[in-house]
Structure 1
Amino acid sequence: MALLAFTFIAGPGGRRRSSTGLDELADTGPVEPVKQPAEIERLWGEDDRMPEMIRRVTTRIQTATQEAANTIVGRFARTVATSRVFLGLAGREFRCSYGPGYYFEAGSTLSFVFGADTNVMAPAANDPSHRTMAAVHSYPLYIRFVPWSIADEAHEDEWCLERVEVIVEGDQGSKVVFTGLDGPERLFMGPDGGYMLYLQPGTGTGAGAGHETRPTTVSGSVSESGQRIDGSGFTVATSGPGTFTITFDTPFPKRPAVVASIFKRTWWMQDNAHVAEADATHAVIITGDAQGNLAPRDFQFIATT
């Protein structure tokens, strides 16, 4: 049997298959130099850089005094050593414990540090540094109480909680603070009062000290005259028929996704609202009538990252 050999030649920049069956690089001219890290960073842009990771989480838990507990249900404020307390953060839980034998004494304030400078039991199992700061805002943040002898509700441990503060610090300098029971309320956690307390986000700092934590969601409703009906974190200005500029009180970390829609039964189904432009600082919403003309309409919106 005869053995045939073929030669295929590709165009510029391609490969050439020789008669031996091996690939040979075609002459493509000067080779482009490898981009340096600074050039790559400029090509990627700010939104494509590595996400900010959690560096440290500090959880301060204040147990009510015995006197305060007595005014609520007349029982002990403290926990027993075999009960457990967990912090829910960034999609998982972390145990608030220094080690065996510790409990939450009446009138005490205990600080548990996870991540950098940790002071908790089993630090590797309770390390938040693999979670992003974005995940902190994506999942509920809470304190969960697991009382001793949970199988026998009549003899479960109880705990009178007075205040919780959680400080989350990122590895790029941002910080956010969450608080719970920041007022006169005291919560008896256990079979009568429940086992979980959800925390509210407070203020924090970004890369520059003194800045508030950047929002992840702003929403509200606006009247046809440009007055805010409900919602917070924004102001409204009108600049013509059916043209509304929403300015965010605190800029988003990047351009948010913005959605708007007409509301109230007084408008026709064909009346409309849509987002004309949006960036980290503001969004422009335009509204129109059933004939497609610009016209003021009541609308609601949500902006989120």
Structure 2
Amino acid sequence: MSDITQIRARIETANVGGADTTSWIYLGIAGREFCLDSGSGSDYAQGAKTCFILGEDGSSQNDGGESGFTDVTVRNAEYNDPRKPQLDTEDLNISPAYIRFAGSGSVQYWCLERAKVTVRSDTGEEFHFDNLRLRGTQENRRIWLHTEYGERLSLYPVTNN
């Protein structure tokens, strides 16, 4: 096993009315939670495609080949870093991966179109997490998250992005 040096979380908010949120969104992976917030206020705007970078700067070897995503460093990067404490790729097999919505403020819901995560190790190896039920852009291929109908979406390992 090897040290995790970077996590890239590509989050796409649905491009439908009312999909946006200003609430807190978290990524759970490798046994801890990370706050996915750049501080811009537009990370989860309707139709937004944001790639949150945690840990080491720089692009990933296989970043999914998707266009339209805006790369951002998370706010409070020092505290949202998989190197503090140092996480290991072995941790990826121990704890479930997920996206968690924590409704706050005036917008208590969010419509998530897609969430894909790439974890990179110090050896250059990459691990990919996704929920393939969200592939596509049909209404039944997105999920509304809310305190009354669920706040968490599980992600699982996939072999290709």
Equivalent position to 2:155, from 199, 203, 207: 199
Structure 1 unaligned residues grouped into runs of 5+: 1-50, 70-75, 150-154, 205-305
Residue 29 (structure 2) aligns with? 89
The residue number in structure 2 matching 1:168 is: 119
**What is the root-mean-square deviation of aligned Cα atoms in Å?**
1.7
Structure-to-structure mapping, 1:99-178, within 5 angstroms: 99=39, 101-117=41-57, 119-129=73-83, 130-149=86-105, 157-178=108-129
TM-score, normalised by the number of residues in structure 1? 0.43
Q: Find the residue that maps to 2:159 and give its secondary structure.
A: strand
1:22 aligns with none
For structure 2, list consecutive stretches of 5 or more residues without a partner in the other structure. 58-71
Aligned to 2:66: none
Tell me which residue corresponds to 1:182.
135
Cα distance, 1:193 vs. partner? 2.4
CA contact (8 A) 1:156 1:190 kept: no
1: CA distance, partners of 2:82 / 2:159: 20
In the TM superposition, residue 100 of structure 1 has moved relative to its aligned partner by: 5.7
Equivalent-residue separation in structure 2 for 1:157 and 1:109 (angstroms): 20
Alignment map for 1:1-305 (pairs within 5 Å): 51-66=1-16, 76-80=18-22, 83-99=23-39, 101-117=41-57, 119-129=73-83, 130-149=86-105, 157-180=108-131, 181-183=134-136, 184=138, 185-203=141-159
CA contact (8 A) 1:163 1:182 kept: yes
Whole-angstrom CA distance in 1 between matches of 2:34 and 2:151: 16
* Percent identity over paired residues: 35
Q: Aligned residues, how many? A: 139
User: How far did 1:88 drift?
Assistant: 0.1
Structure of larger gyration radius: 1
Secondary structure of residue in 2 paired with 1:134: helix
In 1, the alpha carbon distance for the partners of 2:123 and 2:14 equals 35
